[in-house]
């Protein structure tokens, strides 16, 4: 039987963090500090099938149950919740290392979390609940078909190469994120400030151990820089700041131009922070106005 996992994200993909096969990759939920009522001490052991030293070390370091043994959760429900969060967290770590067929199973006092009622008495060993986490990584996956659709094919190829999205290479989930960031950088350098990943499709073929990735790119319109306006001034003259900014009206958009404008202004001791961006809609002349937001430092007494 051929097993294929498919993920299709129809919403605009958020570069920097996303969900893959229902598992949050990066930016995972961490437990918030709160008063612990009815703490449940436990001892955790993590076992990795077909022990791979580098992978085992990463899983050990990343396991919530192992890392927080000295912070007992609140009640049985707290321990169950931590175990479920840890299973998702460990799967995300497996994805980071290109293992998409792995499984994670947790035993709390000899029982699965879904077999335990919130009022059940948990078995203790030396005053602590024994918790065992079993990880079976499965096979390592490689990238298969890579497609970047939308816009200039030459730019797409350059972005894929820069981001490391190459058929046959290790299919680490982080590489997909890095490739999406590379897509944005590549199109922005080509004068498209509003580029975004419109849709992401990821297919894990467990028979071939390949991960196929399709990124749908919405480049947005090319932009030329228009006149600038200053926001946030209190004491300083906007006209003076515009002269200092040296905005090259009429030039094609480029991230380096935006950064140069910002640096021209941050060189002034009177300014604390400066942000520079182009407006989302062009002016009557077809040029995109530059919006410069500043905050002034407090005067020294």
User: Residue 283 and residue 246: Cα distance in Å, rounded?
Assistant: 19
Cα of first residue to Cα of last residue in the chain, in angstroms, is 77
209: nearest Cα among 173, 178, 170, 165: 170
74: nearest Cα among 106, 40, 42: 40
Given this model, what pLDDT does residue 9 score? Answer: 45
- Domains in the chain and their CATH numbers? 10-136 (no CATH), 142-218 (3.10.20.310), 225-296 (3.10.20.310)
170: nearest Cα among 101, 97, 100: 97
Is residue 79 packed enough to be buried (19+ CB in 10 Å), middle (13-18) or exposed (0-12)?
Answer: buried
The two structure tokens encoding residue 261: 């404008």
The two structure tokens encoding residue 228: 């600038």
User: Across the chain, what does the average pLDDT equal?
Assistant: 90
Residue 264 has pLDDT above 90, yes or no: yes
Residue 247 has pLDDT above 80, yes or no: yes
The two structure tokens encoding residue 117: 């009622």
Is residue 115 packed enough to be buried (19+ CB in 10 Å), middle (13-18) or exposed (0-12)?
Answer: exposed
Residue 22 has pLDDT above 80, yes or no: no
Least confident range from 14-18, 148-152, 170-174, 263-267: namely 14-18
Contact of 231 with 294, CB cutoff 8 Å: yes
Is residue 48 packed enough to be buried (19+ CB in 10 Å), middle (13-18) or exposed (0-12)?
Answer: buried
0.85 surpassed by pTM: no
The two structure tokens encoding residue 267: 């060189």
Given this model, what pLDDT does residue 10 score? Answer: 44
Least confident range from 29-38, 40-49, 113-122, 249-258: namely 29-38
Mapped to the 3 state alphabet, what secondary structure does the chain carry?
Answer: CCCEEEEEECCCECCCCEEECCEEECCCCCCCCCCCCCECCEEEEEEECCCCHHHHHHHHHHCHHHHCCCCCCEHHHHHHHHHHHHHHHHHHHHHHCCECCCEEEEEECCECHHHCCCCCCCCCECCEEEEEEEEECCCECEEEEEEEECCCHHHHHHHHHHHCCCCCCECCHHHHHHHHHHHHHHHHHCCCCCCEEEEEEEEEECCCCEEEEEEEEECCCCCEEEEEEEECCCCCCHHHHHHHHCCCCCCECCHHHHHHHHHHHHCCCCEEEEEEEECCCCCCCCCEEEEEEEEECCCCC
**Mean pLDDT, residues 79-99 taken together:** 96
Contact of 122 with 80, CB cutoff 8 Å: no
**Where is pLDDT greater, at 157 or 203?**
203
Distance, C-alpha 115 to centroid of its chain: 33
Contact of 268 with 244, CB cutoff 8 Å: yes
Residue 147, phi then psi, degrees to nearest 5: -130, 130
Q: For the segment 37-63, what is each residue's pLDDT rounded down to a tens digit?
A: 789 999 999 999 988 899 999 999 999
**Mean pLDDT, residues 145-173 taken together:** 91
């Amino acid at each position: 039987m051929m097993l294929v996992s498919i993920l299709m994200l129809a919403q605009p993909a958020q570069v920097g963090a996303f969900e893959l096969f229902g598992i949050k990759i990066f930016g995972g939920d961490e437990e918030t500090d709160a008063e612990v009522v009815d703490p449940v001490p436990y001892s955790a052991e993590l076992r990795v099938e077909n022990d791979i030293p580098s992978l085992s070390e990463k899983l050990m370091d990343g396991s919530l149950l192992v890392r927080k043994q000295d912070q007992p959760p609140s009640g049985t429900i707290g321990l169950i919740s931590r175990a479920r969060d840890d299973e998702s967290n460990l799967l995300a770590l497996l994805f980071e290392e290109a293992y998409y067929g792995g499984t994670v199973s947790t035993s709390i006092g000899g029982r699965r979390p879904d077999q335990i009622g919130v009022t059940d008495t948990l078995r203790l060993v030396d005053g602590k609940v024994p918790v065992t986490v079993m990880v079976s990584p499965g096979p390592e996956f490689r990238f298969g078909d890579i497609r970047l659709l939308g816009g200039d094919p030459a730019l797409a190829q350059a972005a894929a190469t820069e981001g490391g999205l190459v058929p046959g290479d290790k299919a680490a989930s982080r590489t997909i994120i890095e490739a999406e960031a590379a897509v944005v950088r590549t199109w922005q350098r080509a004068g498209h400030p509003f580029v975004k990943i419109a849709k992401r499709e990821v297919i894990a073929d467990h028979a071939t151990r390949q991960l196929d990735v399709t990124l749908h790119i919405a480049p947005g319109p090319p932009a030329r820089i228009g006149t600038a306006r200053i926001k946030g001034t209190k004491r300083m003259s906007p006209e003076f700041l515009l002269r200092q900014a040296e905005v090259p009206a009429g030039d094609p958009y480029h991230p380096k131009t935006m950064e140069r404008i910002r640096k021209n202004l941050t060189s002034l001791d009177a300014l604390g922070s400066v942000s520079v961006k182009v407006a989302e809609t062009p002016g009557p002349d077809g040029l995109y106005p530059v919006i410069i937001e500043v905050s002034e430092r407090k005067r020294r007494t």
